[in-house]
Amino acid sequence: MDVIISNCVINLSTEKSSVFASAYRVLRPGGRVGVSDVVAGNHLSPAQRAERGGWVGCIAGALSIAEYERGLADAGFVDIDIRPTHEVADGMHSAIVRARKPEA
């Protein structure tokens, strides 16, 4: 695959590391990920995130920005860019997430 796109569904997975690893596996070298998702501020604990909304709204399952970056990097992605766009709850933001699988 050349590109993987997603609109706020990674947060619904309880196995995000598996999602990142599978995305990496199916992309060709140089392939890209472009995701719209909800991210939490790094200062919020998992319990504080859950207080701000449910799984239905993609909020309770949100990773912090640092956790999202680490998950993508651990899967092998590079050029990771997470840009919050607007606040959806206190300390929680919609974000555009981009990453790339390195060239062979």
Count up the domains in the chain and report the number. Answer: 1
Among 3-7, 55-59, 85-89, 92-96, the least confident range: 55-59
CATH for 86? 3.40.50.150
**What is the value of pTM for the model shown?**
0.90
Residue 56 has pLDDT above 60, yes or no: no
DSSP string, 16-67: HHHHHHHHHHHSPTT-EEEEEEEEE-TT--HHHHHHT--GGGT-TTPEEHHH
Residue 48 has pLDDT above 90, yes or no: no
Which carries the bigger pLDDT value, residue 85 or residue 54? 85
Q: Where does the pLDDT of residue 58 fall: very low under 50, low under 70, confident under 90, or very high at 90 and above?
A: low
- Domain of 70 in residue numbering reads as 3-100
